[in-house]
Structure 1
Amino acid sequence: MSYLLRVELPDVPGSLGRLASAIGASGANIEAIEIVGKDDGVAIDDVFITPDHGVMPDSIVSACTALDGVRVLWISRYAAGGNLFLDLEAVESMTQDPATAVEKLVDAVPEVFRVDWGMHLTREGDSGVIVHGTPSAPTVVPGGVVWPENLEKASNIDVPDAWSDLVVAASPVTADELVVVGRRGGPEFLDSEIARLAHLVAMAGSLRRNA
């Protein structure tokens, strides 16, 4: 079983090396690392790891948090086969078929943003309908959900009671279309993730318009 760690560490030379050494000493192999945010001397990295047989994730977390200034924000199982789907790979997929760029992006967002699902909504009256979603996405919009007014850029959004266990972000494709992503149980989307979502959605919309 593989895991994905999101780790906060000091943004100073040597921090990442010390983290890698601690993870290795705890009995896990690092398959990939991606920097997802930096702010005020702190870096936030996603670290994809494969523990040795019998090594428990708690021991890896303990090894990380024993380092000064290091905090594990979350750890989750991650069955990505060691291949993190980076933003540029999502762009490549979209450009291969610009007419379906929005759908291609939705299909990619679980790996790109470490979320449980993604979906493409279009407006219908005061609410919306799902026109495309990943396998784990809801198939219908919960009753009582209204279309977010004045959503001009990507942001975290409030969720209905039916989605109370989710952290949700959305970005507009047009005034009547949204790409929505959901992460079960958190954590909140970082500002850097929101900015990346906005950039990729804007690119998908542009590719589709020019197809």
Structure 2
Amino acid sequence: MLDFIGTIVLVAAIIVSINALTGAMPISTAQRLAVSVGAGLWTGLAAALAGANLFLGTNPVGPPVIGTVIAFPLVATAVAASISPAVRASLLGMPMPFLIGLNVWRLGGGFFLLLAAEGRLAGPFPYSAGWGDIITGALALPVAWLALRGQGKALVWGWNAFGMLDLVVALALGITSASGSPLQIIHVGVGSAGVQVLPWSLIPTVLVPMFLIVHAVIFAQLARAGRGAEAS
């Protein structure tokens, strides 16, 4: 039952978030369609690789494959934004309150705690990732409201730093607690095995890179606003 509910929630989070992000970008309809199709194909690839058990820590190719799937969209976005003014403008042109509010989906981090209760995750990973996501998601709408009103800049900085750090720490703990992986240094029960298979593998391979990009864009917007304030 938990897998069924998780599948519905995760697929909904991915579809809604991708459509919301492309809709918020100041780009043409054709460009929105291209970005949406690309993101959809990448999600399909991540799901297919998980279905073939290519993310398992016990699989010799598991760590490099899941690492590549997580890193590629981050590197591709960073490179594209650095060399293309149009890409940079489309990312920075999204409203900051919207980007912050999108993190309400992070309340789904409660699934980590449920998986731990079922014995499908163990060690510090599910609790760090779960509570970190819940806190980030619970504060998303209040912080978005402050950003919309142009208030609480320090709080927005702090919230964004916490939310991004939560994702980085979760990735680190997930990698170092993956049973059978050569990178495993935390040996507690099944470790992060539960997120190496569908539907939960969609979290580290699709949602985590997406939210890392969102946090990076927010940081860039905050920095730009700070430079503008100093110039004036």
TM-score when normalising by structure 2:
0.30
Pick the structure with more strand per residue: 1
Pick the structure with more helix per residue: 2
Larger RCO (CA under 8 A, 6+ residues apart): 2
